Amino acid sequence: MSTAVATPTVPAAAARPAASSPAPAPMSRLFLVCVVLAICIWGGNWPVMKFGSQFIPPLWFAASRFLSAAILSFVIAVVLCKLRLPTRQEWPVVVGVGVLQMGLFTALVTGALHFVMPGRASLIAYATSIWVVPGAALVLKQKLSPQQSLATVCSYAGMAVIVLPALLHADLHSMIGYLMLGVASLSWAMNILQIKMSPGVKLDFALLPWQTLVAALPLSLLALAVDGAPSFLADPHAWGVIAYTGPLATALTFLIVLQMTQRLSPVTVSVCMLGVPVVGLTLSSLVFGERLSSDLVLGMGLLCLGLVLPALPSLGLRRLATKG
């Protein structure tokens, strides 16, 4: 299943009807539903992580998330006869996903939730377009389509409206959390660009067990060294939190998001991921009473507009845009 992706000018040889270079097809409705599902699950994960951070240490929180996801994905891979070792070409991407997008990102955002509320925090963590847009232009030499350009402007404006007031009034305690979230955003952006620079690697379910294992092992060793034994497992609430953040928000959702990263352009992926903080902000306001002020409402409106615009070509509206 392929999707409409913004690409550089195609050479004439590739334009011929060769079997190895088919024309990109529009995004299927099933894949679009999966993308929306992933955004909603990850948006809901932020209030769950904030709740779990009250009784689970940050490192153990991140480690338990990927340990549970690794166990589940290994079991499913064995049952489906899909378990295999990654090839030499696949290992760098497996390590990149496990370290940058899973391990480092999750450890940083989980720790940051001890300093800041989940609503605005989710926006900063998922603001990968800040890094991906210039990175795609410099590293991948990618030119933005009109839809991507307008979506990027809307997403930058939305982030500025939401984040700047918080930064201007933040104390040292909050600034530590915001700094951790900024580094987390950068680590994910680096992995997005790495994946786009590895077109020969297919991010299917066969690699997911190894990606989660790469994330889980160093996090578990670090958690043991820093926080000691996982005594939080005696709390029954911990098991519900781990069930959501591990099997659901990791094993299932990461597979969808990695497919997005491979099928869509880096800019489109980074803008689409801003839907996560929109869901997170809404749920945080309902669960934790995080007030939806006028700046949050305006910012979320701009983010939603930025989310819709990249999808217009894949929904068959490109011809309408060119005719107009």
Pairwise CA distance, residues 307 & 34, whole Å: 15
Confidence of residue 158 (pLDDT cuts 50, 70, 90): confident
Pairwise CA distance, residues 147 & 46, whole Å: 29
Virtual CA dihedral for 310, 316, 322, 324, nearest 10 degrees? -100
Question: Tokens 């984040």 — which residue?
Answer: 163
Averaged pLDDT, 100-112: 89
Q: What percent of the chain stands above pLDDT 70?
A: 83
Confidence of residue 123 (pLDDT cuts 50, 70, 90): confident
Which amino acid, 276? V
* Global confidence as pTM: 0.70
Question: Is it the case that residue 62 has pLDDT exceeding 80?
Answer: yes
The tokens describing 263, both together, are: 């099928």
**Among candidate residues 307, 228, 234, 320, the one with its CA nearest the CA of residue 35:** 307
Could you tell me if 279 and 117 are in contact, meaning their C-beta atoms sit under 8 angstroms apart? Answer: no
pLDDT for res 94: 94
- Over residues 173-190, the pLDDT tens digits come to 888 888 898 899 899 889
Confidence of residue 312 (pLDDT cuts 50, 70, 90): low
Question: Is it the case that residue 52 has pLDDT exceeding 70?
Answer: yes
Lowest mean pLDDT among 88-92, 218-222, 313-317: 313-317
The tokens describing 131, both together, are: 């890094």
180: left (phi over 0), alpha (psi -120 to 50) or beta: alpha
User: Sign of the CA dihedral 3, 307, 282, 175?
Assistant: positive
pLDDT for res 253: 84
- Over residues 291-307, the pLDDT tens digits come to 767 777 787 778 777 76
Could you tell me if 106 and 62 are in contact, meaning their C-beta atoms sit under 8 angstroms apart? Answer: yes
Is the pLDDT higher at 308 or at 105? 105
pLDDT for res 230: 92
Question: Is it the case that residue 309 has pLDDT exceeding 80?
Answer: no
Q: Output the CA angle 9-126-66, nearest 5 degrees.
A: 110
pLDDT for res 25: 44
Could you tell me if 147 and 310 are in contact, meaning their C-beta atoms sit under 8 angstroms apart? Answer: yes
Pairwise CA distance, residues 277 & 39, whole Å: 9
pLDDT for res 307: 66
pLDDT for res 313: 54
pLDDT for res 86: 93
Question: Tokens 């989660």 — which residue?
Answer: 212
